[in-house]
Amino acid sequence: MTPAQLRAFAATVRLGSVKAAAADLEVSEAAVSMHIAHLRKELGDRLFTRTANGLAFTPGGLRLASRAAEMLGLQDRTILEVREAGSGRRMLRIAGSALFAEHAAPGLIELFAGRADDLDVELSVHEPQDFAPLLLTRAVDVAIGPRPAVVDDALSCTPFLNYQVIAVVGRDHPLAAGGVTAAELRDQTWLLGPSAVGRTGMVPAVLRRLGVPEHNQRIFQSHAAALDEAKHGKGVALAVAFAVAKDLAAKDLCRLAGPALPLRGSWNLLALKDRDVSPVAAELRRFVTTPRAIQAMLRGAGVTAGRFRPAVHVTLWS
């Protein structure tokens, strides 16, 4: 079995068709079919058959699907470790939810990376439902965000920070005067960061609970940009409570008390279990629960260039 054959089969399993796998791998359908044919011949198993409802995998095909992800992940990890050894540097790849990436990641990364001169940290933003596949295929070393409804047996989950999501408006906004009803909130213009785009997480949950229509939602490239608009009385913004404490104290923002608010959540660090976790990921898992790390996240310290590569959010309207 070659890596190319395993990648072709894994993509076919993940996407449900040879055509989709070929597009994802940027090769021809004939190339994917050839790789799968070689696997079938070598393993003596059909692996899957085509049906009216898609692909039906044999027991052997399902077993290979699991092993292919493991072997490809191990290959990628080995390549990374060899490159790190040759360059004398280590890399920690973090997948984070949008809320964590903007509000807590900078302080954590700055403090953690500053403890070692040979460590680079790369942060990318992903939907929480993608965390498990990213970790199991070793595309990232750790994932940080809300706790999944079900934690894969191969993963550990370490809770480390509770937070609240609150609704705020500028001090001159009409709703700043007092309590509000669900109907009043529903009819407002909502100024939202990139976490509102996803299907899961705290912000989409609030919007669903209140029944905020899509035409009342304005999405910005960052939560900070949405809050800046809220300070100018342009609408209602959702914010992590600790991130706007100074604005609330200065009365630049006013907190709204209404139904479905505040919403409480927690950030959790997901990683492979001890047998498979990388040393630097295990180190972060221990570090993230310490008082110094918690204070750094709440304080939101900046990061130095080269330590932190933030994601770029692009939102398109049609």
Three-class SS of the chain: CCHHHHHHHHHHHHHCCHHHHHHHHCCCHHHHHHHHHHHHHHHCCCCEEEECCEEEECHHHHHHHHHHHHHHHHHHHHHHHHHHHHHCCEEEEEEECHHHHHHCHHHHHHHHHCCCCCEEEEEEECCHHHHHHHHHCCCCCEEEECCCCCCCCCEEEEEEEEEEEEEEEECCCHHHHCCCCHHHHHCCCEEECHHHCCCCCHHHHHHHHHCCCHHHEEECCCHHHHHHHHHCCCCEEEEEHHHHHHHHHCCCEEEECCCCCCEEEEEEEEEECCCCCCHHHHHHHHHCCCHHHHHHHHHCCCCCCCCCCCCCCCCCCC
Structure tokens at 268: 């959790």
Nearest to 223 by CA among 308, 310, 119: 310
Neighbours of 253 (CB within 10 A): 24
Structure tokens at 80: 């990374």
The residue that leads in pLDDT, 236 or 313, is 236
Nearest to 115 by CA among 298, 288, 271: 288
Calculate mean pLDDT across residues 213-229.
91
- The CATH code belonging to domain 162-264 is 3.40.190.10
- The CATH code belonging to domain 89-161+266-299 is 3.40.190.10
**Domain 3-80 shares a fold with domain 89-161+266-299:** no
CA distance 163 to 201: 13
Around 66, how many Cα atoms within 13 Å sit in the side-chain half-sphere?
6
pLDDT at 301: 46
Calculate mean pLDDT across residues 207-228.
90
Domain spans of the chain?
Answer: 3-80, 89-161+266-299, 162-264
Matching residue, tokens 């449900």: 16
Position 302 pLDDT exceeds 50: no
Cβ neighbors of 281 (< 8 A, separation 6 or more) are 92, 141, 142, 271, 272
Cα-atom radius of gyration of the chain, to the nearest Å? 23
Query: pLDDT tens digit string along 270-292?
Result: 999 987 888 899 999 999 999 99
- The CATH code belonging to domain 3-80 is 1.10.10.10
Position 316 pLDDT exceeds 70: no
Query: pLDDT tens digit string along 146-199?
Result: 998 889 888 999 999 999 999 999 999 999 887 788 888 999 999 998 888 877
Query: pLDDT tens digit string along 50-83?
Result: 887 778 888 888 888 878 877 887 787 777 677 7
Q: Which of 17-31, 171-185, 229-243 has the lowest mean pLDDT?
A: 171-185
Q: In degrees rounded to 5, what are phi and psi of residue 239?
A: -145, 150
